[in-house]
Chains A and B, each alone.
Chain A
Amino acid sequence: MINETLPVINKLGLHARSAAKLVTTAQPFKCDITLERKGREVNAKSIMGVMMLAATCGSEVNIALNGDDEVAAFQAIKQLFANRFDEES
C-alpha cells in the first residue's frame, strides 16, 4: 500500500485533458488507485471522478495505491504530475 501526496503544479490543474491523461496512465495498472482531496475520494481510473476533485494549480491531492503493480503505477503518475501533464514547455 502506498500513500503519498502529489502537488498539482500545471497551470490549468486537473481539468478535462489532464484528467484524461491521468486516467489513461492509471488504467493499464491492475492496482486500485484512489485520489483524495479535501475529503472527496475518487477512483483515479474514472475521468469524471478525477474532474470532480476540482484540483487547481497549487492544490495537493493524496494518492493511495494498493496492488501488485502499485510501485510502477505510482512512479508513472508521479512523473505525470511532475511533468505538468506535458502541457507546459
Chain B
Amino acid sequence: MSVSLIIITHYDIGQQMVKMVNETLGQSVLSISTMSVYPEQSMEQLIGRVVLKTQEVDQGDGVIIITDLYGATPGNIACRLMDIPTIKVITGLNLPMLFKAQNYADLPINELAEKILKGGREGILLCNQDICQTN
C-alpha cells in the first residue's frame, strides 16, 4: 500500500515541517510533496497545479492532501478536490500528523487518514503538571 501525501500551506510552512520530520526519522517512508501558497497567486492557477500534482504523485492507492488552515486558500483549493474518490482532505496541519503518517505509511487511504487525524488531535494539549509530568 503506498498512499501519497501532498502538503499545501501558506508560504513554505509545509516544506519546513516535512523537512523536520524527515530529518528526525532519517528517511521518508511515504511519498510527500509540498506546495506553497503565496498571496498574489490566483485560485484557478493553484487548483490547476494541485490537480496536476495529485495525478503526478498518485501511485494507485490514493492521495491525502493536508492543508494548514480550513477556510483559507490552501484549505479552499484542497476542498475543491474532496469529492474525488481517491483523494482525502485534512486541514489543521501539525507535526504530530506528519509523524503519525510516516508511522502508519503502509495503511490504506481511509485508515491512514483516520490515523493522521487522531495523531493531530492527540498532539494538542493544554499542558499542566498532571499530563506533562516532566519530573
CB distance from B20 to the nearest CB of A (A): 8
Q: Is residue A33 contacting chain B, with contact meaning CB distance below 8 A?
A: no
Given contacts A16-B24, A20-B25, contact A47 B134 (CB under 8 A): no
CB distance from B44 to the nearest CB of A (A): 37
B24 and A17 contacting across the interface, CB-CB below 8 Å: yes
CB contact list, B13-33 vs A, under 8 A: 24-26
Q: Is residue B126 contacting chain A, with contact meaning CB distance below 8 A?
A: no
Number of chain A interface residues as a range: 10 to 19
A48 and B96 contacting across the interface, CB-CB below 8 Å: yes
B24 and A48 contacting across the interface, CB-CB below 8 Å: no
CA of A17 to CA of B24, assembled, Å? 5
Total A-B pairs in contact (CB under 8 Å)? 34
A48 and B122 contacting across the interface, CB-CB below 8 Å: yes
Q: Per-residue 0/1 for B92-135: is the Cβ within 8 Å of any A Cβ (1 yes, 0 no)? A: 00001001101100000000000000010011000000001111
With a cutoff of 8 Å between Cβ atoms, the chain B residues found around residue A51 in the complex are 99
CB distance from B109 to the nearest CB of A (A): 20
Chain B contact surface mostly: helix
Q: How many residues of B contact A (CB 8 A)?
A: 15
A56 and B135 contacting across the interface, CB-CB below 8 Å: yes
CA of A21 to CA of B19, assembled, Å? 17
Q: Per-residue 0/1 for A16-27: is the Cβ within 8 Å of any B Cβ (1 yes, 0 no)? A: 110010011000
With a cutoff of 8 Å between Cβ atoms, the chain A residues found around residue B96 in the complex are 48
Residues on A facing B (Cβ under 8 Å): 16-17, 20, 23-24, 37-38, 40, 45-48, 51-52, 54, 56, 59
Chosen A-B contacts, 29 in total, with CB atoms closer than 8 Å, are A17-B24, A20-B24, A20-B25, A20-B26, A24-B25, A24-B26, A37-B133, A38-B133, A40-B133, A45-B103, A46-B100, A46-B103, A47-B25, A47-B99, A47-B100, A47-B102, A47-B103, A48-B99, A48-B100, A48-B103, A48-B119, A48-B123, A52-B122, A54-B132, A54-B133, A54-B134, A56-B134, A56-B135, A59-B135
Residues on B facing A (Cβ under 8 Å): 24-26, 96, 99-100, 102-103, 119, 122-123, 132-135
